[in-house]
C-alpha cells in the first residue's frame, strides 16, 4: 500500500512539473548553441499558398529590406532599408523585430495595397478583441497576444537540422490555434 502511494506521489509530482514547465518548450525550440545576431544576416524567403511571395533581406548594419509579390493581383512592393533588432524572452528565445514591416506579408486578410483588413471592430466587453486591431498579434510560444504597432515580430526557432544555420523565422500570428502566415527560410548562399 505504501509503495502504491509513493508511486502515485511520484506520478503527481511529474505531472505538476510538466504542467509548470516553460511554455516555450512546447514546439518552440531555441536556436542551436552559439546563436548570434549574425546568424540572421542573409536573404529569407517565404511563399504563402502559392499566392504571395515575400523576401526579407537582413543586413549586418542593422537594416533590412522587404519585397512582396502577390501573384493573384500583381501587387509588387519593395521597401526602403529599415531598422531591425533582436530581443530575447526570459527563457532565451530570440525575437526578430522588423520596424515598418508590411504586415500583409504574413496575414492574407490584410490588403497589401491599402493595409486594411475589412474586419469590423467588435466590442469585447472589458477585454480587447485582438482581431479589431491590426497591431495585436499572437505569440504562440508564450501563449499571449502582443501589441506590436509599426513592426513585424518573428520568433527565431531552432531544431531544423536540414536548414542552413538550423533556424527558421516564424511570425507572430492572428490565430491562437496556430500560425496563419508563412515561415521564412534562409536562402542558400
Q: Look at residue 166 in the predicted model and tell me its pLDDT.
A: 86
Where does the chain have alpha helices with state H?
2-20
Q: What is the pLDDT of residues 114-172, one digit of tens each?
A: 878 777 665 544 455 566 677 888 888 888 888 888 899 999 999 887 777 889 899 98
Domain contains 14: no
Domain count, the chain: 1
Answer yes or no: are the C-beta atoms of 84 and 98 closer than 8 Å: yes
Answer yes or no: are the C-beta atoms of 157 and 31 closer than 8 Å: yes
pTM: 0.78
Domain contains 8: no
- For 39, the 3-state DSSP assignment is helix
Q: Which three cell numbers stand for residue 173?
A: 500570428
Instruction: Enumerate residues 6+ apart whose C-beta is below 8 A from 1.
Output: none
Of 78, 75, 47, 51, the closest CA to residue 64 belongs to 78
Domain contains 79: yes
Answer yes or no: are the C-beta atoms of 129 and 120 closer than 8 Å: no
Domain contains 18: no
CB atoms under 10 Å from CB of 45, counted, come to 15
- For 144, the 3-state DSSP assignment is strand
CA distance 170 to 167: 10
Q: What is the distance of C-alpha 76 from the center of its chain?
A: 23
User: Residue 67 is part of which domain span?
Assistant: 25-186
Domain contains 111: yes
CA distance 88 to 94: 4
Better pLDDT: 79 or 16? 79
Domain contains 9: no
Q: What is the pLDDT of residues 44-58, one digit of tens each?
A: 998 776 567 889 999
Q: Which three cell numbers stand for residue 34?
A: 552559439
Q: Which three cell numbers stand for residue 9?
A: 506521489
Domain contains 133: yes
The mean predicted confidence, pLDDT, of the chain is 78
CB atoms under 10 Å from CB of 175, counted, come to 14
Q: What is the CATH classification number for the domain harbouring 153? A: 2.40.128
Query: What values do phi and psi take at 179, rounded to 5?
Result: -70, 145
Average pLDDT over residues 27-55: 86
Amino acid at each position: 500500500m505504501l509503495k502504491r502511494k509513493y508511486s502515485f506521489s511520484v506520478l503527481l509530482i511529474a505531472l505538476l512539473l510538466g504542467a509548470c514547465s516553460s511554455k516555450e518548450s512546447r514546439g518552440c525550440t531555441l536556436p542551436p548553441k552559439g546563436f548570434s545576431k549574425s546568424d540572421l544576416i542573409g536573404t529569407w524567403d517565404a511563399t504563402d499558398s502559392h499566392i504571395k511571395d515575400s523576401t526579407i533581406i537582413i543586413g549586418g548594419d542593422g537594416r533590412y529590406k522587404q519585397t512582396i509579390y502577390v501573384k493573384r493581383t500583381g501587387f509588387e512592393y519593395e521597401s526602403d532599408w529599415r531598422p531591425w533588432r533582436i530581443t530575447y524572452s526570459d527563457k532565451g528565445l530570440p525575437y526578430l523585430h522588423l520596424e515598418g514591416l508590411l504586415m500583409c506579408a504574413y496575414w492574407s486578410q490584410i490588403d497589401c495595397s491599402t493595409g486594411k483588413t475589412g474586419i469590423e471592430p467588435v466590442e469585447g466587453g472589458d477585454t480587447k478583441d485582438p482581431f479589431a486591431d491590426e497591431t495585436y498579434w499572437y505569440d504562440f510560444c508564450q501563449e499571449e497576444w502582443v501589441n506590436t504597432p509599426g513592426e513585424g515580430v518573428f520568433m527565431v526557432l531552432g531544431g531544423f537540422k536540414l536548414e542552413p544555420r538550423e533556424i527558421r523565422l516564424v511570425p507572430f500570428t492572428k490565430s491562437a490555434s496556430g500560425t496563419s502566415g508563412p515561415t521564412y527560410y534562409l536562402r542558400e548562399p
